Every structure is written in structure tokens, then in C-alpha cells.
Amino acid sequence: MNESLTIAMPKGRIFEEAAELMKAAGYDLLENMEETRKLILQFPDQNIQIMMAKPMDVVTYVEHGAADIGIAGKDVLLEQDRDVYEVLDLGISPCYLAVAGLPDTQMGKIAPKIATKYPQIASDYFREQGEQIEIISLNGSIELAPLIGLADRIVDIVSTGRTLKENGLVEYEKIVDVTSRLIVNPVSYRLKSARIDEMVRSLSRVIEENAV
């Protein structure tokens, strides 16, 4: 029943909310997390090992079985389309993906340039819209691109809307809502189903309680 579990946790924004949720579900994994630079943390009393990963890499660790379980944003899952089971919407780190640009962006331009950290999501979205575009891949500060004339529009995460506002940009279309998800390696799910199901049930209970 108490098989060992390796969990890939995303460093950064999602981490604290994810760790709080785990704690409320009975998995106390927060201890020492803030101070340490260690990337692998052992919790022998719970038979759990935590890997601290970049949010975009969590899916890779889980797909290859380096971790049994992981937590990743829906944005990352849509962008990467990997062979992992998405078993639970944790409801944390909510935000959405949107198309944005300068308020006077010229629409109807042939093959406009779209700057983004999400080339797959952006290509899929504009293909569905029947609009031909050119993708400019960037790794961050996406909002710079339309300001300096590198791109006509951007596809990026919006949370509070502050970054768009402070840079004089406007949102054109919302693409998809994003929250963090619990993902599972398909083989681990078969071999460690009792333990994984137990974790999913405990987390679901906390999510339901938080919702009321």
C-alpha cells in the first residue's frame, strides 16, 4: 500500500500553492523547502521523494518515468502534448492565455508576426481561426515584442492584467483558461495505483472543501 512516490514539483509561482494543497491533503512537504538549494528532497516517513523542477520540465520528468507524479500548468500540458495522464484539476495558479497587442494594431495584415513562449498553442489557435501567421518564439518579457515592433501581436499568460496595462497593451481574445493539474506517468499509475488513487482522493477532498 505504501509504495514509494517520486513527485516532480514546479519551482517558482506554482510551488507554494501546490505545497499548501499537498499539506492540507496530509502530505507535509513544505518543511525546509524555502531555504534549501537541494533539488531532491527525501521524506522517508511518508516514503515520498520530491524533485524540484522548472515548471516547463515537469512533464518531461513524468513522461519518462523519472517522476511518478507531477504538477504542471494546463498551459504547459497544451503546449507539449505529452504521454501523461492528467488526473486532477488542482484549481491553483489560475490565469489564462490571450492574444494581445497595441490598441491600434492593424488587423487583416497578411501573415502577422505573433511573439510567444507558446508556439504550439498559438499556431493551433490561429489555424482554427483560419488566420495565417508567423511565430516569433521568445522565452520571456513577451510584452516587449509589440512595443519595439518585433511582432504585431503576442500570445501570453494574463493573470492580473497588470503587465499588459503598464505596457499600454490591450487584450484581443482570450484563448483558454489555465490552472495547475496533477499529472501521472501511465506505468506508475498501473504499478502504484493504490497509492496514487489515495493521493488523488485526498487532494480532491481538499479542493472540494476549499470550493465551499
Ligand X SMILES: Nc1ncnc2c1ncn2[C@@H]1O[C@H](COP(=O)(O)OP(=O)(O)OP(=O)(O)O)[C@@H](O)[C@H]1O
Q: What would the grid cell of residue 70 be?
A: 507531477
CB of 106 to ligand PRP, least distance (A): 23
Of the two residues 106 and 160, which places its CB atom closer to ligand PRP in the complex? 160
- Near ligand PRP by CB under 6 A, which window of 2-10, 48-56, 126-134, 140-148? 140-148
141 lines the binding site for ligand X (CB under 6 A): no
168 lines the binding site for ligand PRP (CB under 6 A): no
* Binds ligand X by CB under 6 A, chosen from 73, 101, 112, 146: 73
In 3D, which of 78, 108, 112 has the Cα closest to residue 180?
78
**In 36-133, beta strands by DSSP E:** 40-43, 48-53, 69-73, 85-89, 95-101, 113-116
> Considering only residues 68-127, where is the footprint of ligand PRP by CB under 6 A?
none
- Near ligand PRP by CB under 6 A, which window of 41-49, 55-63, 151-159, 182-190? 151-159
CB of 95 to ligand PRP, least distance (A): 7
148 lines the binding site for ligand PRP (CB under 6 A): no
Q: What would the grid cell of residue 172 be?
A: 484581443
**The amino acid at 170:** V
CB of 98 to ligand X, least distance (A): 11
82 lines the binding site for ligand X (CB under 6 A): no
d(CA 160, CA 174): 14
SS3 state of residue 29: coil
* Binds ligand PRP by CB under 6 A, chosen from 18, 142, 175, 178: 142
How many other CB atoms sit within 10 Å of the CB of residue 104? Answer: 6
Which residue reads 486532477 in cell numbers? 88
- Near ligand X by CB under 6 A, which window of 10-18, 61-69, 106-114, 198-206? 10-18
**Which residues, listed in sequence order, are joined to residue 43 by a DSSP beta bridge?**
48
- Near ligand X by CB under 6 A, which window of 31-39, 48-56, 182-190, 197-205? 48-56
**The amino acid at 56:** M
Tell me how far CA of residue 196 lies from CA of 4, 9, 161, 181, in angstroms. Answer: 10, 15, 36, 14
CB of 162 to ligand X, least distance (A): 9
Contacts to ligand PRP by CB under 6 A = 140-143, 156-163
